[in-house]
């Protein structure tokens, strides 16, 4: 099956550059993973809540997070022996299928290098462009594709995730992955307090998902300010709750939600991983 993406690129004006790296493969301190690969520095999806925006301080760019992208390049091939029987995620601080991937194909090139690796590979994205690489996924022994969905409301999505694929496109992507025998995950992340309805997301996607992952909204630095401004404007009724969670550091909301996720998924025989578990 062939998928055409000539219409895909979202026109996003960002500062575009290349950067040389020693290796695409990075050892991670994340307890659930061994290695990560981030094909780009920056992400034009420009999600308002993006935790990765802290990386702006490590770049040479004056632009804000979401307004620049560096295309990683290296002559070093990925050492597939190093990742044998290891857990590898593509990627953790950018969308590997952001709108510049169709132009540069860095993610595709990386997948071609690891297609025969004995690694457990997870790909996380918000983009329908992931369908382009189904031919490679079918050749991989251990592969799972996670589509991140935090809401079902398209108007809300435009405000919080302005440059990513629509929710409808992501659900259709899950459907096509499932039809092609690819292990598909719905990553309900971030769980935005009082905005993310995890039960509705599961009901909308349960026919196409093999597993569900959950992670909470974490707020710090500049994007904390932006999210508080957004809540004050769009959902002022929740201002005190956000202040309680993120300023007073009250864990009750997410602890109770974690229990609710456990109960719901257990009752409905849903395979899931809760990455925050109330912490």
Q: What percent of the chain has pLDDT over 70?
A: 91
- Using one digit for the tens of pLDDT, what is the confidence trace for 61-70? 677 777 889 9
User: What pLDDT score was predicted for residue 13?
Assistant: 53
Rounded to an integer, the average pLDDT of 24-48 is 94
User: What pLDDT score was predicted for residue 63?
Assistant: 74
CA atoms within 13 A on the CB side of 128: 21
pTM of the prediction?
Answer: 0.91
Give the model's confidence band at 55: pLDDT under 50 very low, under 70 low, under 90 confident, else very high: low
pLDDT reading at 189 higher than 70:
yes
The larger pLDDT score, comparing residue 19 to residue 212, is at 212
Q: CB of 48 within 8 A of CB of 227?
A: yes
- What is the distance between the alpha carbons of residues 19 and 71, in angstroms, rounded to a whole number? 6
Give the model's confidence band at 249: pLDDT under 50 very low, under 70 low, under 90 confident, else very high: very high
- Using one digit for the tens of pLDDT, what is the confidence trace for 133-155? 999 999 999 999 999 999 999 99
Helix/strand/coil (H/E/C) assignment for every residue in the chain: CCCCCCCCCCCCCCEEEEEECCCCEEECCCCCCCEEECCEECCCCCCCCCHHHHHHHHCCCCCCCCCEEEEEECCCCCCCCCCCCCEEEECCCCCCCCCCHHHHCHHHHHHHHHCCCCCEEEEEECCHHHHHHHHHHCCCCCEEEEEECCCCCHHHHHHHCCCCCCHHHHHHHHHHHHHCCCEEEEEEEEECCCCCCHHHHHHHHCCCCCEEEEEECCCCHHHHHHHHHHHHHHCHHHHHHHHHHHCCCCCHHHHHHHHHHHHHHHHCCCCEEECCCCC
Closest CA to 93 of 67, 124, 121: 124
Closest CA to 51 of 189, 158, 162, 256: 189
Rounded to an integer, the average pLDDT of 70-81 is 95
- Domains observed in the chain: 15-274 (3.20.20)
Rounded to an integer, the average pLDDT of 23-34 is 94
- What is the distance between the alpha carbons of residues 94 and 42, in angstroms, rounded to a whole number? 6
pLDDT reading at 9 higher than 80:
no
């Amino acid at each position: 099956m062939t998928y055409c993406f000539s219409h895909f690129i979202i026109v996003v004006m960002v500062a575009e550059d290349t950067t040389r790296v020693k290796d695409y493969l990075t050892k991670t301190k994340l307890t659930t993973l061994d290695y990560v690969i981030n094909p780009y520095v920056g992400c034009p999806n420009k999600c308002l809540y993006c935790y990765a925006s802290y990386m702006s301080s490590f770049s040479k760019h004056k632009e804000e997070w979401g307004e620049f992208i560096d295309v990683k390049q290296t002559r070093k091939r990925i050492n597939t022996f190093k990742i044998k029987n290891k857990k590898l995620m593509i990627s953790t601080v950018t969308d590997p299928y952001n709108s510049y991937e169709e132009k540069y194909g860095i993610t595709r090139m990386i997948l071609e290098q690891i297609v025969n690796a004995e690694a457990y590979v997870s790909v996380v994205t918000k983009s329908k462009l992931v369908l382009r690489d189904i031919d490679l996924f079918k050749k991989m022994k251990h592969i799972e594709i996670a589509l991140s969905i935090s809401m079902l409301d398209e108007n809300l999505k435009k405000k919080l995730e302005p440059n990513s694929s629509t929710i409808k496109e992501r659900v259709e992507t899950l459907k096509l992955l499932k039809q092609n025998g690819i292990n598909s995950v719905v990553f309900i992340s971030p769980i935005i307090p009082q905005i993310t309805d995890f039960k509705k997301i599961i009901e909308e996607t349960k026919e196409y998902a093999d597993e569900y992952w959950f992670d909470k909204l974490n707020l710090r630095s500049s994007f904390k300010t932006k999210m508080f401004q957004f809540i004050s404007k769009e959902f002022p009724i929740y201002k005190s709750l956000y202040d309680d969670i993120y300023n007073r550091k009250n864990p009750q909301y997410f602890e109770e939600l974690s229990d609710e996720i456990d109960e719901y998924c257990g009752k409905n025989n849903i395979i899931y991983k809760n990455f925050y578990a109330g912490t």
